[in-house]
Amino acid sequence: MLRRTGTTIALLALIGLTACKGPEGTGTADDATDSGGRITVWVDPPRLPAVNAFQQAHPEIPVDVMTINGNVGSTELQQKFVLFNQAGTGWPDAIFFPSNDDIAWAANSKINYVRDLTDDLADVIAQYAPSSISQCRIDGLFRCLRNDAAPDVLWYDKQLMAAWGYQPPTTWEDYEKLSLRIAAEHPGYVTGFLGDAYAPDRYLWASGCPTNDRLSERQVHINLGDPRCTRVRDLLDHLVAADVVSPAGIFSPDATALGKRLVMSPGAVWWGSFLFRDTWKVPPGRIAAAAPLRWTADPTPFTSSEGGGLWGFSRHIKGTQLQNTLTFARFVATDPRWQVDLSVGLPGVGPLQQPWLTRQRETGYLADFDAAAAAFVLASTIVRPERDYTRYNTGTVWTHTVTPALTSGRSFAHAWTVFGERLVGEARSFGYTVHNSA
Amino acid sequence: MSPALGRTGRIVTLLLVATGFAYPVAAFAVVGLRRDDGTGPTGLALRNAWDSWQTVLRFNDGVVLSWLGNSLIVATGGALVAVAVGIPAGYALARLRFPGRRLLRFCTLLTMVVPNTVLVIPLYLEVSAVGAVNNIWVVALLMGFHPFGVYLTYIHFRTTLPAPVLEAARIDGLSETDIFRRVALPASKPAVALVGFFSFVANWTNFFLPLVLLPLSSSTTISVGLPQLVSSSPLFDPTNAAGLDVRLYAPQLAVATLVTVAPVLAVFVIAQRALTRGQMLGATR
Amino acid sequence: MTTYRSIQTEPWTPRHQVHPQPVPARKVRRTGKTGRAVRTGRRAAAVLVLPYVALLLVGGLVPAGYAVVKSLQNESETGFGGISSYQRVVSDLRFAETFGNVALTLLIWLPLMLIGVVGLALLVDASPGRFGTTMRFIYYLPGALAGVANFMLWLFLLDPGQSPIAFLWHGFGYGTLNEVAQPGNLPYILAAMLFFQGAGTWVVVLSGGLHSIPDHVLEAARIDGAGAWDTAWRVKLPMIRPWLGYLTLLNLAYGFQLFLEPQVLSQVTHGLIAPQWTPNQLGFSYAYQILDTPMAAAMSVILLAITLGVGLLVVRRSGLFDDGR
């Protein structure tokens, strides 16, 4: 804990030196207005309780709430912001982005909606593990706050593992070996889902494969020939060939039946209650979590993250409206009345993680809670930082190249080639110059 | 092939195809009468449809009603404009000589056969250049541009208004505008019904124009709204059930769709007599 | 303008007298009538046509022209960019792909439409009385479920978990929506959707065309010893040929406006279908996602050029609009 705070401070000091003069216009916009206090907040349905809790805690601040919905890759939200920019009015003061990739356009110079929080909320930012907040750091400035950390851990069915006499793997190499064994000994069971937009996060990001290595607003580094990519490609190729991973996605209705036959899989912290318990209805006491898988060749362990919501705040406000919005920002990021009592995800800020875990223990859903809790906390500190949210959506490219190929029974190698071409192509059509040096 | 065999074959084919067309529609209507709260559809009663509709109304605090209201505004407004503008223009094209008449007729035909969605992005560029995006009246006005209606009116006046009648009116000394008001208009009822009907239906079902020009979810129309209901349904994303308090399954979606179709059917019934007479006009869109 | 305003309020006031009363106040001078009539005629025409011309400009010509202008701007929209936006559009790897998708869909849909509609219209035409009209009405029925409603219906048809035709999907070996709606099947699905929605209307149109064939022509064919088949092939079909050209070209142009169906299918299948599957979707993405206005304009201009070309063929060559006196 102490060491992490130490690195955070060191990092902040470094940022403080370099970020004093950021790119033009990331702070308060010239056209900023002040409502005199009332703030407008846009959230998706699961985040409504956060707003309610805020209204109870701060009855003096009037809040307008709008519920938004959005699928990954949907343009609806962005469309609205294009309109607001044209009209010069209409922006919400705070927004929970339905998809994490939204931060890429919201911070892009064309829309330029989210304000730089580096100075105003320095104390809040300092409470995050650097790896939890690194996706909010765009060109040296912190332009969003993380609601919940969503690092990947290894989920497994403890009862099945015990009954079959297996040990949960600790490395990707072991994960592959055990998967192939399960394929041979217990056909019909699965050890992963490949069909959803988070699958490239789970596998490619965890390995450090450069798919979203943003160099600047118009430069990106993509290289699927990198050894950190090819090792995942080979792994998935073998698992697909053995038919032990499902081409369905975790959100697909087809996954509900398969979820009960999931022996193990890398997956985000929120899988526990959101998928296993509430969506797939796996009985309590079966599901357990272990530390993230690591690649034997890597000197230090790393993991990836799947979603875990981001909050953004408007550049177009000042005065009391701004102060109230910042109060709201502090509340949703660090107040236990939301983060511990109500939020379904592991808090992004470090100090609230233990209190949240203590509460989760009471629900008694997971088998061996202490091991899971330790895995969650560890994972939230080792998310690979060099993976950014970009305007092209890697998850969407994956779902319409790899997923259909696997659904129609094509080989993974074929799917991989198409995925790589499309990824580079889409990055280019968004105006990025693609660097593919190793 | 013997005539009897041919006759049987013809009737069987027609009946088979009819089944193919009617069965899905009927089955869909039946879905609306069922009940589903996440465990699969059961039962069959009118009461279920009512309950489903109540659930749909609770979605985002009754936003469906705003969508229906907005649809009504743009569809009716657009139809009124289309009639008010299209009837005189169609008459002038059919019965008056004026410079530019051939060009205007040509432009009308061309804009009529070009699919209207290819003009939507250009319209968006135009409307946003003057800062009028998200204005429902602008959308209604743009929907009032209905070249097909002008063409229908043109055909109507060419085929039903005999030239001698007009000639007589001219000899009687009526001005051309008087002739339009006192001779042509009273004879234009079928054309008004046709133009009104086709324009209303086209506007009501228009998806792309409101999608682009009315981007705020509270100010958009029902055809843009329905797909939003779909993407919030646990039917296609089970995790929606965990997040949303209003859960829309197959029956709720079916009822919402049937409610959406109702105004089109109503207008169809109202305009039916004019339609059956006018269908020879090549009513296609 | 005042005259026009009075017209606007008039159409809903029923007039009982079709033949107008002579207006005594204005004496008609027969001599010199032509010049004056033409002039007043012109003024009247201007008044009657002007609002429509205004809408034609605002709703058609100006946006089209503006799109051309915009498409020639440079990427930052600060100055002239030549054809650079077109180069960006054409070099987008999705550009050719989206047109390929539409072409594939049309390749399946147009023959289906042509053969299906003509066949049904001929069969209906050969079925006199109530049976024929009933059949025609049933075919027209799904047309009432236009646009989004038709799509909603198909969503249920396509999902083996809900579908009343699930047996069909199981027959193909499909158990889930994602298997049915996989990208390779999309052209077939779209063709079926569009046929289901549009066939009835065209059967009605063609029936009208067939119905207008004079009895003596059919009688003559019968006397010549032509059977039902011969009559259909040699007499009826040639008579409705202009309509067939119109049908083909209009639906060809229609193929380029596909947007809704692939868009929502992409959503419900969690991105299994590319979010930019048709040219229209791609143009939309340029406007609202990539935020490159010149590119969006260029895409529109390309689509306009194609559909206008098809439209010109329809207007000039189909023989249906030839009374331009």
Find the CATH number of the domain harbouring A31: 3.40.190.10
Q: Are residues A137 and A224 in the same domain?
A: no
Closest by Cβ to B239, choosing from A74, A82, A274? A274
Decide if C20 is inside a domain: no
Please tell me the distance from the alpha carbon of residue B197 to that of residue C20, in angstroms, as a whole number.
Answer: 29
Asked if A397 reaches chain B (Cβ–Cβ under 8 Å), the answer is no
pLDDT digits (tens, 9 = 90+) for A32-64: 999 999 999 998 878 889 999 999 999 999 999
Neighbors of chain A with 3 or more C-beta pairs under 8 Å: B, C
At C29 the pLDDT is 41
Beta-strand pair A219-221/A433-435: parallel
**Residue A78 pLDDT greater than 70, yes or no:** yes
Q: Do A75 and C285 count as a contact with CB atoms less than 8 A apart?
A: yes
Q: Do A429 and C93 count as a contact with CB atoms less than 8 A apart?
A: yes
Average pLDDT over residues C194-210: 86
Decide if A225 is inside a domain: yes
Query: Which of the residues C88, C282, C291, C295 would you substitute to probe the A interface, choosing the one with the greatest number of A C-beta atoms within 10 Å?
Result: C291
> φ, ψ for residue A246 (rounded to 5)?
-95, 140
Decide if C41 is inside a domain: yes
Q: Taking all residues of chain A, what is their mean pLDDT, rounded to a whole number?
A: 90
Closest by Cβ to C288, choosing from A75, A422, A425? A75
**Residue A162 pLDDT greater than 90, yes or no:** yes
Q: Taking all residues of chain C, what is their mean pLDDT, rounded to a whole number?
A: 82
Q: Are residues C222 and C277 in the same domain?
A: yes
Q: Are residues C66 and C90 in the same domain?
A: no
Neighbors of chain C with 3 or more C-beta pairs under 8 Å: A, B
Q: Which residues contact C273 (CB under 8 A, 6 or more apart)?
A: A400, A404, C181, C183, C186, C262, C265, C266
CA atoms within 13 A on the CB side of A300: 7
Q: Are residues C222 and C175 in the same domain?
A: yes
Give just the sign of the alpha carbon dihedral A372, A378, A381, A382.
Answer: negative
Decide if A33 is inside a domain: yes
Decide if C15 is inside a domain: no
Virtual CA dihedral for B269, B274, B280, B281, nearest 10 degrees?
A: -110
pLDDT band (50, 70, 90) for residue C145: confident
Q: Are residues C50 and C103 in the same domain?
A: no
pLDDT band (50, 70, 90) for residue C38: low
DSSP-derived secondary structure for B9-64? HHHHHHHHHHHHHHHHHHHHHHHTTSB-SSS--B---HHHHHHHHHHHHHGGGTHH
Q: Which residues contact A163 (CB under 8 A, 6 or more apart)?
A: none
Please tell me the distance from the alpha carbon of residue A338 to that of residue A344, in angstroms, as a whole number.
Answer: 10
Please tell me the distance from the alpha carbon of residue A289 to that of residue A366, in angstroms, as a whole number.
Answer: 8
| Chain C residues touching B163 at Cβ < 8 A | none
Give just the sign of the alpha carbon dihedral B168, B172, B177, B178.
Answer: negative
Nearest-CA distance B217 → chain A (Å): 9
Residue C73 pairs with which residues in a beta bridge?
A: C80
Q: Are residues A178 and A220 in the same domain?
A: yes
**C14: helix, coil or strand?**
coil
% residues pLDDT > 90 (chain A): 75
Q: Which structural domain, as residue segments, surrounds residue A100?
A: 2-146+309-344
Nearest-CA distance A113 → chain B (Å): 17
Supply A337's token pair: 């009345």
Please tell me the distance from the alpha carbon of residue A411 to that of residue A419, in angstroms, as a whole number.
Answer: 13
- Higher-confidence residue of C319 and B115: namely B115
Average pLDDT over residues A117-124: 96
Q: Are residues C272 and C129 in the same domain?
A: yes
Closest by Cβ to C164, choosing from B27, B236, B282? B27
| Chain B residues touching C55 at Cβ < 8 A | 81, 85, 141, 144-145
Decide if A359 is inside a domain: no
Q: Which structural domain, as residue segments, surrounds residue C54?
A: 1-7+33-71
Q: Under CATH, what is the fold of the domain B32-281?
A: MetI-like fold (1.10.3720)
User: DSSP assignment, residue A63?
Assistant: E
Domain tally, chain C? 2
pLDDT band (50, 70, 90) for residue B249: confident
Q: Are residues C102 and C227 in the same domain?
A: yes
At A70 the pLDDT is 61
At A328 the pLDDT is 98
Asked if B267 reaches chain C (Cβ–Cβ under 8 Å), the answer is no
User: DSSP assignment, residue A110?
Assistant: T
Asked if C210 reaches chain B (Cβ–Cβ under 8 Å), the answer is no
DSSP-derived secondary structure for A76-89? HHHHHHHHHHHHT-
At B276 the pLDDT is 59
Rounded to two decimals, the pTM is: 0.86
Q: Are residues C47 and C137 in the same domain?
A: no
Contact yes or no for A32/A317 (Cβ under 8 A): yes
At B243 the pLDDT is 59
User: DSSP assignment, residue A79?
Assistant: H
Q: Which residues contact C245 (CB under 8 A, 6 or more apart)?
A: C314, C317, C318, C319, C320
ipTM: 0.87
Closest by Cβ to B182, choosing from C20, C153, C229? C20
Decide if A355 is inside a domain: no
Decide if C78 is inside a domain: no
At B244 the pLDDT is 64
Nearest-CA distance C290 → chain B (Å): 14
Closest by Cβ to B181, choosing from C10, C202, C267? C10
Asked if A436 reaches chain B (Cβ–Cβ under 8 Å), the answer is no
Q: Are residues A7 and A82 in the same domain?
A: yes
Supply B126's token pair: 């135009």
Nearest-CA distance B205 → chain A (Å): 20
At A120 the pLDDT is 95
At A60 the pLDDT is 96
Q: Are residues C66 and C92 in the same domain?
A: no
Q: Nearest residue of B to residue A49 by CA position?
A: B243
Q: Are residues C141 and C249 in the same domain?
A: yes
CA proximity to B228, closest of B47, B219, C257? B219
At B284 the pLDDT is 36
Average pLDDT over residues B93-98: 88
Domain tally, chain A? 2
- Higher-confidence residue of A7 and A202: namely A202
Q: Are residues A167 and A142 in the same domain?
A: no
Q: One-letter amino acid identity for B36?
A: D
Closest by Cβ to C275, choosing from A73, A248, A407? A73
Q: One-letter amino acid identity for C204?
A: V
At C186 the pLDDT is 95
Q: Are residues A334 and A201 in the same domain?
A: no
Q: Are residues C49 and C193 in the same domain?
A: no
Virtual CA dihedral for B132, B133, B134, B140, nearest 10 degrees?
A: 70
Chain B, window 186-245: residues with a beta carbon less than 8 angstroms from a chain C beta carbon: 186-189, 192, 201, 205-208, 212, 222-223, 226-227, 230-231, 235-237
Please tell me the distance from the alpha carbon of residue A283 to that of residue A285, in angstroms, as a whole number.
Answer: 7
Beta-strand pair A213-216/A219-221: antiparallel
Q: Are residues A127 and A166 in the same domain?
A: no
At C247 the pLDDT is 85
Decide if A362 is inside a domain: no
> Residues A348-351: contacts with CB within 8 Å, 24+ apart?
A348/A128, A348/A132, A348/A133, A348/A145, A348/A146, A348/A147, A348/A148, A348/A149, A348/A308, A348/A380, A349/A124, A349/A127, A349/A128, A350/A1, A350/A4, A350/A5, A350/A127, A350/A128, A350/A129, A350/A132, A350/A380, A351/A127
Please tell me the distance from the alpha carbon of residue A281 to that of residue B38, in angstroms, as a whole number.
Answer: 13
At C303 the pLDDT is 93
Report helix, strand and coil shares of chain C as percent, to nearest 5: 70, 0, 25
Please tell me the distance from the alpha carbon of residue A50 to that of residue A47, in angstroms, as a whole number.
Answer: 5
Residue A39 pairs with which residues in a beta bridge?
A: A63
Supply A280's token pair: 């797939």
pLDDT digits (tens, 9 = 90+) for B100-138: 999 999 999 888 888 888 889 899 989 988 888 889 999
Q: Do B14 and C120 count as a contact with CB atoms less than 8 A apart?
A: yes
At B238 the pLDDT is 73
CA proximity to B117, closest of C73, C51, C287? C287
pLDDT band (50, 70, 90) for residue C39: low
